[in-house]
Amino acid sequence: MQKRDPLFASVMRVCAPLLVWAAHFFFCYAYVAAGCASSAVLGVTTVLALSACCGLLWLSWRSRIGKGSLLDLGAFLASVLSFIAITWSTLPLIFMAACRSA
């Protein structure tokens, strides 16, 4: 069954970009809530998360050509939406001071 029906791998294809979004979001939230956050750390995390999304987007775009199964579209659309959501969460990080005492 594992070879014929790779549930975990298929689920991960669609969920990987969403997990990147989740990791970025919860890391930023916890890091900011825990104390005086450094803008550099938040910046590097965001660049890493966006790069990962771009990578996954590129992979899904490449495998999507000529196909159109639900999982292919899922991997593609999830990457796009995660990219938008991460960019969106980055806006407050850019425009608001990470550390109020700074």
Partner 1 sequence: MTNAMKSTASLPATPSSLPRPPGELEQLTRIWKTPKGFRFLTSVNNTNIGLLYIGTALLFFVLAGVLALLLRVQLAVPDNTFLSPAVYNQLFTMHGTVMMFLFAIPVVEAIAVYLLPGMLGARDLPFPRLSAYAFWAYFFGGLGFFCSIFAGLAPDGGWFMYPPLTGKEFSPGLNADFWLLGIGFIEISAIAGAIELIVGILFTRAHGMTLGKMPVYAWSMLVVAVMIVFAFPAVIAGTTLLELERAFDWPFFIAARGGDPILWQHLFWFFGHPEVYIIFLPAAGMVSTMIPSIAGTPLVGRKAITVALVVVGFFSFALWAHHMFTAGLGPLEAGLISAASMAVAIPTAIQVFGWIATLWRGKVTWGSPALFLMGFMFIFVLGGLTGVMVAVVPFDWQVHDTYFIVAHLHYVLIGGMVFPVFAGLYYWLPLIKGQAMSEAWGRWVFGLMFAGFNIAFFPMHLTGMLGMPRRVYTYGADMGWSGLNMLSTIGAFVFAAGVVLYFIDLVRTLRKPSRPIGNPWHAATMEWLPNEDYATRSIPQVTSADPLWDQPGLAEQVEAGQHWLPGTRTGLRETILTTPIAAKPMYVMVLPGDSWLPFIAALGTAGFFLLLTIQWNLVATLCGIAAIVSIIMWLWESDRAPLQTEVEIGDGVMLPVGMTGPRSHSWWGTGIMMVVDLTIFASLLFAFIHISMRLNICPPPGAHLPNAFWQYSSIALLLGSSALMEFARRTLVDQHTVWLRCVTVLALACIVGGFAVVMLGQQSAGLDPTAHAWSATIAAMLAYQGFHVFILAIIGIYLFLRSWDGKLRGRNRGSFDNSALIWHGSVLQGVIGTLAVSLLPQWMGA
Inter-residue contact 25 to 89 (CB < 8 Å): yes
Using CA atoms, how far apart are residues 69 and 1, in angstroms rounded to an integer?
20
Residue type, 31: Y
Residue selected from 13, 33, 51, 52 as contacting partner 1 according to rule CB under 8 A: 33
Window contacting partner 1 (CB under 8 A); options: 47-55, 59-67, 70-78: 70-78
Phi and psi at residue 51, to the nearest 5°? -65, -45
- The binding site for partner 1 (CB under 8 A) comprises 1, 4-7, 10, 14-15, 18, 21-22, 25-26, 28-29, 32-34, 37, 68-71, 73-74, 77-78, 81, 84-85, 88-89, 91-93, 95-98, 100
